[in-house]
Amino acid sequence: MKPGTVFFWCFLCLGLHIEVFSLDFTDPGNHADVFSHAAALVDRLSDEQALAQTFMLGWVGATPSPLILDWIRDRNIGGIKIFGWNTEDTTKLAETVGVLQREALQGNLHIPLLVATDQEGGWIRHVKGATSETPGNMAIGASGRPMDAYWAGYYIGRELALLGINMNFAPTVDVYTNRDSVIIGPRAFSSDPAQVGILGTAFMKGQHAAGIIATAKHYPGHGDTNLDSHGVLPQISASFEQLWERELIPYRLLTKEGLTAVMSGHLAFPNTPAALTPASLSSWFLQDLLRGKIGFRGIIITDDLMMNSATMSAGSLSQAAKEALLAGNDIVMLSKTPRLYDPIWTRLVDAMKQEPQFRDRVRDAARRVIALKLEYFRGEQAVPWIPDLTKLASNLPDPEGTAFFLNLAARSVTWVKGEEVPLSPAQAGKVLLAGQYEDFFTIGKMAYPGASGYWYDPEGGTDLVQYAQDADTIIFCISKAEGLPFLQSLQALHKRVIVLSVLSPVYLDTVPWVDGAVAVYSYARESFIAGFSALLGRISAEGTVPFPLNKPRE
């Protein structure tokens, strides 16, 4: 047996006959062979075993619950989803991934798990602890360089691989159409669909180079609504023609470049044939459009089905899961672990027994899942199933990535208002720093020694004006709309006011009176270093806001 050879064992008992099916993971093979191998394996699985490969479950807490272990050990589910509540301690997370993979590999099928998370960069960073805080997608859009997107995807992916995470729900390729969106905002690369597609493709390629399965989201596009699909079902008025030339351009580009996975969004488009059916439950969106017209051949996974927008539309969680699979999803994702004989499982098992069409769809989905595992779980770039804990301390955060992300922050920092002139400590005089982030105050006081600080609290009223009376210069950090009243209260003082915008700089078009404004695109320490370096004139601010400011709201 060659070193590194691993077997999928499938036992099919027919009387005294036991058939063994094995696959060599050291042989990369070609796509056609991968799918034929997957089809042969799934043909030997029972209906329940095939159904289990379409399940991806999360759990609550830092350690795996007994229930998630039961699902892996007894049901052989296809994947697990890591959420932010699992990840404060990265060493503990790596240990947990190892425990869960061992359970899968010691089960009766020996099929390793897809291990997924949301590590988009910037604002959305579900795996916390020792991993890199990065400037994010909008910073990449501000730099405008595809290589920045590639290396961001690569270094984020390399950190995930160390932890045994082999699938990332990124890149986010939502087009930043609605500037009031509080759910997308700085998660978007740009308001230009072609630019989103180019940068999203580069990010995907970087993920693939790190061995990570990249997943584009939120199909067909979450950028034209300010509603959060976690709580309600957003209705987007775009027609098919608008979608085709705007939201779908990134998916069209990524598909041509080998996109591996797509996450379907809980979004309704009433002016399309899907009407009020969420895209995640719509065969028109998933099969007719994504697979048929666009030509996507990878796997489709739902956004969390426990989001109210999905279950309210279907009537129940079990019905939503059934509709999702029938519509064309290959994996149904649940953020929490149901009981083993919860209706979501029993109803789907019964449907497989009674409805041949549903049974065929589930087995087709299982073939796609197994094919994906065969394609990505073998070869030199494959993510280790069991993380090597000895490598974590020296590689998290990634040393090369740390230098890259600081450079990215510097390349993306953007002068938005006022002249790009250095503001030295001597020129600034007495400085007041007003903001809400510890790194803002730490870096700001290093840049302007002797500066005082004011932490504003939207819930606690304001005495900011009183604090600002004696200041010559106020440097105000804003990241959310809640900060605008505090900023606007400074206008009457006729002091020098400089704004350091964090996340989306969309709020800057409401304060034309400020003396200057510089934009960074995350609250990572590197972004604050870049922002204050630009204010001091130590670096030039060469970034460009990747969407039009001062544009009237529609």
* Alpha-carbon span 441 to 455, nearest angstrom: 9
37 catalytic? Reply is no
Return the residue matching tokens 């289990």.
52
Alpha helices per DSSP H over 295-355: 308-314, 317-327, 343-354
CA 214-216-221 angle, to 5 degrees, is: 170
**Cα-based distances in Å from 219 to 251, 286, 298, 416:** 8, 9, 13, 31
* Alpha-carbon span 357 to 351, nearest angstrom: 9
Tokens of 20: 């063994």
* Alpha-carbon span 325 to 316, nearest angstrom: 14
Picking from 412, 437, 372, 452, the residue whose alpha carbon sits closest to that of residue 534 is: 412
116: amino acid identity, one letter: A
pLDDT value at residue 327: 98
Tokens of 221: 């596009």
Indicate the domain borders of the chain: 12-167+269-399, 413-536
Give yes or no for a contact between 310 and 265, defined as CB atoms under 8 angstroms apart.
no
Per CATH, the homologous superfamily of domain 12-167+269-399 is: Glycoside hydrolase, family 3, N-terminal domain (3.20.20.300)
Kindly give the confidence (pLDDT) of every residue in the chain, 554 residues in length, as a single tens digit, with 9 standing for 90 and above: 333 333 343 333 322 222 333 444 444 445 557 888 899 999 999 999 999 999 999 999 889 999 999 999 999 999 999 999 888 899 999 999 999 999 999 988 999 999 999 999 999 999 999 999 999 999 999 999 999 999 999 999 999 999 999 999 999 999 999 988 888 999 999 999 999 999 999 999 999 999 999 999 999 999 988 766 666 889 999 999 999 999 999 999 999 999 999 999 999 999 999 999 999 999 999 999 999 999 999 999 999 999 866 666 778 999 999 999 999 999 999 999 999 999 999 999 999 999 999 999 999 999 999 999 999 998 889 999 999 999 999 999 999 999 999 999 999 999 998 876 789 999 999 999 999 999 999 999 999 999 999 999 887 767 899 999 999 999 999 999 999 999 999 999 999 999 999 999 999 999 999 999 999 999 999 999 999 999 999 999 999 999 998 764 44
Q: Which CATH number fits domain 413-536: 3.40.50.1700, 3.20.20.10, 3.30.70.1520, 3.90.1150.10?
A: 3.40.50.1700
**Catalytic entry in 24, 70, 230, 515:** 230
Return the residue matching tokens 């089905």.
305
Return the residue matching tokens 């400089």.
498
Give yes or no for a contact between 165 and 392, defined as CB atoms under 8 angstroms apart.
no
pLDDT value at residue 310: 67
Hey, which residues does 125 pair with through a beta bridge? 119
* Alpha-carbon span 251 to 244, nearest angstrom: 10
Overall pTM > 0.85: yes
CA 440-441-447 angle, to 5 degrees, is: 90
How long is the chain?
554
**Catalytic entry in 118, 192, 224, 303:** 303
230 catalytic? Reply is yes
